[in-house]
Amino acid sequence: MIDDDADIRGLVAEYFGKNDIRVSTGCSGREMFELFDREAIDLVLLDLKLPGEDGMQLARALRER
Asked if residues 28 and 2 have their Cβ atoms less than 8 Å apart, the reply is yes
pTM of the entire predicted model: 0.86
Helical pair 29-38 and 55-64, crossing angle rounded to 10 deg: 30
* CATH class for the domain made up of 6-64: alpha beta
- Walking along the chain (65 residues) 10 residues at a time, the average pLDDT comes out as 96 95 94 94 92 90 90
Could you give the angle at the alpha carbon of 21 between the alpha carbons of 19 and 22, nearest 5°?
140
What pLDDT sits at residue 12? 95
What pLDDT sits at residue 34? 95
What pLDDT sits at residue 65? 85
The Cα–Cα gap between 45 and 22 comes to 13
